[in-house]
Amino acid sequence: MSRLAETATPMDALLAILDLEKLEENLFRGLSPQVGWQRVFGGQVIGQALVAAQRTVDEGRFVHSLHAYFMRPGDPSVPIIYDVDRIRDGSSFATRRVVAIQHGKAIFSMSASFQYDEDGFDHQFEMPKVAMPETLPGEQELKEKFLIHAPEAIRRYWERPRPIEIRPVSLEHYFSRDKLQPTQDVWVKAVGTVPDERHLQAAVLAYLSDMTLLDTSLYAHGTSVFDRNLQVASLDHAMWFHRPSKMDDWLLYTQDSPSAHGARGMTRGSLFDRSGVLIASVAQEGLIRKKATE
C-alpha cells in the first residue's frame, strides 16, 4: 500500500493503481486507494482489467470494445488479482478475457477486443448543443454555494478529492425529488496530466465511464443513488472506443436511460471531446432495488 500512500494528487493515485504489478505471465495484481469506501469503485476494476489485458497484446493494437460483468463487490482492503486468458491473436484483431479475483472468488469478468489502426468508413452522431464547461459552476463553487444545503451523502460525494472533475450541465437532478426526464449531460475532465500514451488514456477513459452513469436511470423516479433506501450497484458495463482522445481537455458525457424494469435500470452514454468528436459509447445496466422494510 505504500506505493499509493506516496502519491501527491488524486490523479497520481489513479495512475498508480492502474500501474499493475506483474506476478507471472498473464497474472497481475492491483491495489485500491484507501479512502474509506466500503467497496471498490467499479470504474477502477474496469480500468485495471483493461490494463491487464493491454499488457498481453502487441503495443500496436488498441482496444475497440469491452464487455464486463460485476459479480461481487470488491474489497478495497486487499489486492485484486487479474488473470488474463489470451483467447485469440488474429491478423487484425486480438481477444482477451480477464477475471478479477479476491478471497479466492471471481468478483468481475471482462472480454475485450483489440485492433490495429485501419482506414475505413467514418461517420458519427453530432454532439448535443449544451453549455460549455467554462460557463458552469466548478466544483469549488458548487461546494461553497450549493452543498451547504445539500444532503450529507451528496456533500460527502462532492467534497472528496477525485482525479476526475465533474460539471453537470444542470443541477436539477441532484437537488430535486421531482420525477424528471431520465437524461443528463455532464462535462468530465482529468484533474492533472494523463501521459500521452493511448493504452493508458483508454484505461483512464474506461475508469471515468462508470461515473454518474447509473444515476440517470433513477431520475424518472424522483430519487438518486444517494437514497439510503435503495440498493444500487453496477451489474454490467459495455464500452466501444471509436476514436483516440488525449484526455487533456473536457469531455461531454451525454446520457439517457431508455428503460427501468425488474429492479434493473439501463443507461446509455456517449463521450464527445470539446470539438464534437465522438470518442466512445457506453452502455450499462445496474441494480436499482428498494430495500426491504420491516
Question: Which residues are known catalytic residues?
Answer: 210, 234, 284
257 and 266 Cβ atoms separated by less than 8 Å: yes
C-alpha cell at 3: 506505493
Please say whether the beta carbons of 180 and 219 come within 8 A.
yes
Burial of 79 (0-12, 13-18, 19+ CB in 10 A): middle
Residues with Cβ within 8 Å of residue 109, at least 6 apart in sequence: 68, 69, 71, 97, 98, 99, 100
Block residue for cell numbers 452522431: 125
d(CA 189, CA 165): 5
Q: DSSP states of 171-231 as a string?
A: -HHHH--S---SEEEEEEEESSPPPS-HHHHHHHHHHHTTSSTGGGGGGGGT--TT-TTEE
Phi, psi of 245 (to 5 degrees): -145, 140
Distance (Å, rounded) from C-alpha 282 to C-alpha 286?
Answer: 13
